[in-house]
Amino acid sequence: MNQFVQRVAHYIANELLVKGLAESKAFQRIVVHTDRHIQKYKKEGLEQVNTHIDELHKKATQAAYSTSTKNFASSSSSSPLREGKSGSELEPPQRPLEGIPGFFRALEKVIRRDLGIGVEKK
């Protein structure tokens, strides 16, 4: 009996609320106004994302070409050896650490590079 009363009350409230809002001119204006704003913000947001992606692509392309040009010009031999810390001896490239320690080592390098700590001047 209790469920029946709840269902009837729910049905009546739902019918009154839905029909009342659907027929309300003020509610319809609010819905149209809100939809217009949402569509405007979605469009502006999409345009902003696209411009940011275009800028990033342009910068990445410039960086890739400038890096590949420098590397190509500076590497006269095709040897996989690189200069050591003292600059005179050559040593083979080191395999990066894997897992969590590797992640934190790479993060440390990026932070140091961004802050200008320990950056080698060439």
What is the residue extent of each domain of the chain? 1-75
24-46 tens-digit pLDDT: 899 899 999 999 988 988 888 88
84-101 tens-digit pLDDT: 555 556 677 777 788 888
Tokens of 21: 């809002």
pLDDT above 80 for 104: yes
Structure pTM?
A: 0.36
Beta-carbon contacts of 105 under 8 Å, excluding residues fewer than 6 positions away, are 96, 97
Provide the CA 55 distance to its chain's centre, in angstroms.
14
Please give the pLDDT value at position 79: 47
pLDDT above 80 for 15: yes
Element (H, E) at 83: strand 82-83
Please give the pLDDT value at position 121: 54
